[in-house]
Amino acid sequence: MDSTQIPVDQDMMVRVRRRLHMRPELGWDLDETAALVCRELDSIGVPYAFGQYGRNTVVATINPEITAFTIGIRADMDALPIQEKNFDKPYRSERDGAMHACGHDAHTAMLLGTAKALHALRGTLRCRVKLLFQPCEESRPSGASVMCRHGVMDDIDCILMCHVNCGDPAHAPSCRAGATNASSSRFALTLHGRAVHVAAPHLGRDALAMGVKIYEGIQMLLSREVDPFDTCVFSVCTMHAGATTAVNADRCEMAGSIRCLKDQTMAWAKARFEKLVKAVCDEMGGEYSLDFGGEPLPSAVNDRVLYEAFVTSGEKVVGRANILPLEPSPGGEDFSYYQQKKPGLLFGLGMRNDGKGFNKPAHTDDWDIDEDAMQTGVRLFVQFVLDHMDGIESLAREN
């Protein structure tokens, strides 16, 4: 089948995407979003499981009776805690402090468009397709990790996802084999000293001074101990100490994030950071507590065999010359949890249109996309299914 013959309901996707954009919801609190997804699936006639894999999760199935080979496709549904400033858009967010500023509204709309197209073609398919509508990609606990713990990947052989961006031209997919997104770990450090009057600093232990020395030490180890060809982003995002101008701080709190493309680099960074903290505290007579709490996010790594399969299908949709290289990102992506279970592939899809003003970075208050490109996302998903519905010969052998 020629990709232009794939039945794409662009009007439905635009309607859904704009409704989601107007009514953004955060984290797991996606009651309205999940209800909309279920209504659309009901209208298409695609069966689904609601809540089986976690709160407000929706997993739809095309050809549930076929078990020989199963392809998974995932879309995230949650928004961000950002106040939208697209005042000229009739579909701007109606909720203060919440906005779809990362494209998850488009991801959800495209997966519903894919569901409708595959349902129309179901009689020609020789595989099963599971469509994962996932909550809570932007915060924790990760929706992907929860769905995996509930067994969503048990009967899926491989899984794909698309992430839109406004860096690449509209309709241009991007992909690569190997690492696409960094592992991510939060940290919280509390330094304990002894408060004294500023007139007698030698009698105290200045916790703020410890914090400053640690901050400077981080910059030194990044510039002198990390391979320049590796990736290690170490950001101290908050530092709080002291409450008066007459007493040295007896407590300093620092918090931030570490991002690494290699999991072994993340292990080194955590160990090296604690070694630095201990050395500073030993030198300056302080104590510390360091917590890497919260859920660590593994690095996302595209399967090589799936990458080659995707390129084969993608060139039928947009032409080989229009498939761009996907640069690795220090941003986290919880799709990595699915990839730890089965071979997975993340690809990008350009939504940039300078003439329409769709060229802002994600996670900004004036983000918007060229909705015309959503149809290309559907065609890429459907073409992949059509091309590989009998399985991917070397997938099991390579993995």
**What count of other Cβ atoms lies within 10 Å of the Cβ of residue 3?**
19
Per-residue pLDDT tens, the chain, 399 aa: give them. Answer: 778 899 999 999 999 999 999 999 999 999 999 999 999 999 999 999 999 999 999 999 999 999 999 999 999 999 999 999 999 999 999 999 999 999 999 999 999 999 999 999 999 999 999 999 999 999 999 999 999 999 999 999 999 999 999 999 999 999 999 999 999 999 999 999 999 999 999 999 999 999 999 999 999 999 999 999 999 999 999 999 999 999 999 999 999 999 999 989 999 999 999 999 999 999 999 999 999 987 779 999 999 999 999 999 999 999 999 999 999 999 899 999 999 999 999 999 999 999 999 999 999 999 999 999 999 999 999 999 999 999 997 775 454
How crowded is the C-beta side of 291, counted as CA atoms within 13 Å?
A: 10
Which of 316, 308, 319, 393 lies closest to 347, judged by CA?
A: 308
pLDDT computed for residue 396 by the predictor = 53
Which of 205, 197, 204, 202 lies closest to 281, judged by CA?
A: 205
Question: What is the identity of the amino acid at 319?
Answer: G
pLDDT computed for residue 361 by the predictor = 95
- pTM as predicted: 0.91
pLDDT computed for residue 397 by the predictor = 45
Which of 234, 256, 244 lies closest to 208, judged by CA?
A: 244
Question: If you ran DSSP here, which 8-state letter would residue 193 be given?
Answer: -
Rounded Cα gap, residues 144 and 59, in angstroms:
12
Report domain extents, the chain.
Answer: 3-181+299-398, 183-291
**What count of other Cβ atoms lies within 10 Å of the Cβ of residue 234?**
18
- Paired tokens of 291: 């917590």
Q: Which CATH code is given to the segment(s) 3-181+299-398?
A: 3.40.630.10
Give residues with Cβ within 8 angstroms of 117, minimum separation 6. Answer: 6, 7, 8, 9, 378, 382
The answer to whether the CB of 71 falls within 8 A of the CB of 157 is yes
Q: Which CATH code is given to the segment(s) 183-291?
A: 3.30.70.360
The answer to whether the CB of 338 falls within 8 A of the CB of 74 is yes
Same-fold call for 3-181+299-398 versus 183-291: no
- Paired tokens of 244: 């008066």
